[in-house]
Structure formats: C-alpha cells, structure tokens
Amino acid sequence: MNYSHGEYIISTDKSILDIPYIQQYLTRSYWAEGIPVETVKRAVEGSLCFGVYHHDRQVGFARVVTDASTFAYLADVFIDEKHRSKGLSKWLMQIIMDHESLQGLRRFMLATRDAHGLYKQFGFTPLTNPERLMQIVVPDIYKKNKKA
C-alpha cells in the first residue's frame, strides 16, 4: 500500500526497502548501535514495515512487530535528518495508527528516549502498571556479538 504527501511517499512494500540504508541509520542510533545487516533483514521479514521515500530515495522507516490481533510493538522509527521539520514523523505515525492490521489491538507499545511528545499525540502514555511488565535487556548486544 502506498500513501502520498507532496513529494513524499510511504509504502508498506518490503521489496523496495533499502536495507543497507536502514542498517546504516540504525547502526548509528542510540537504540541499535552496531546492528548487523543480517539482523536488520530478519527484523524486516518479521515485521509490518513502513518506508518513507522522497522521490525514489528512502528517507525514513518504521516497523511494527504484531500479531495483527491483540498486540503491537513500534520500533526503529526514524526520519533522515535532512528531511525533518516537514511533518513527516507525524504523517508516518498517522499512517501507522490508521493501518488496517493495527486496529482493535489490546496493547500497542514502544520505547523512546526523546520522542515522547510525538507519541503522546497518538495516544501513547507512560506505563500505568510498570511493575507488571518484565523484560530481558542485553545492552550492547551487537558489539558483543562482533567480538565473538
């Protein structure tokens, strides 16, 4: 599915994603520093993906891990620095929130260090009962796996 907004397009077609570009961006991010391209490929295969394109060049990305019924987790959201301040992140979020596979979910989660204001606009709130949630976190996993 494709959505147009001026010179920009958002597509859910995984076959046109620029995996090397996505990996290069993510490997510099605070949440996926050093992520290998093979890991990005597997993550894309198992997710509902949204590519943002300016003409034919990818300039943004987001993916949602979901069962398309009860749960979704939003991850790896970014807009290239050169294309920010044009409303693209809000537009991307609106497309994601309106996607047919993400309707009627019991829980939709994400983690962010610095974009709370954006996500609040779409109904995301801090955890009401954080003591009920548990996690396994392996910081620097991609750096550790490189050494092995």
pLDDT of residue 145: 65
Average pLDDT, the chain: 94
pLDDT of residue 140: 81
Model confidence pLDDT, tens digit, residues 38-81: 999 999 999 999 999 999 899 999 999 999 999 999 999 999 99
Distance CA 89, CA 62 (A): 10
* pLDDT band for position 15 (cuts 50, 70, 90): very high
Return the axis-axis angle of helices 37-45 and 19-27, rounded to nearest 10°: 120
Sketch the domain layout of the chain as residue ranges.
2-147
Contacts of 79 (CB under 8 A, 6+ apart): 52, 59, 60, 88, 89, 92
Give the architecture-level CATH label for domain 2-147: 3-Layer(aba) Sandwich (3.40)
Model confidence pLDDT, tens digit, residues 118-141: 999 999 999 999 999 998 988 888
3-state secondary structure of 146: helix
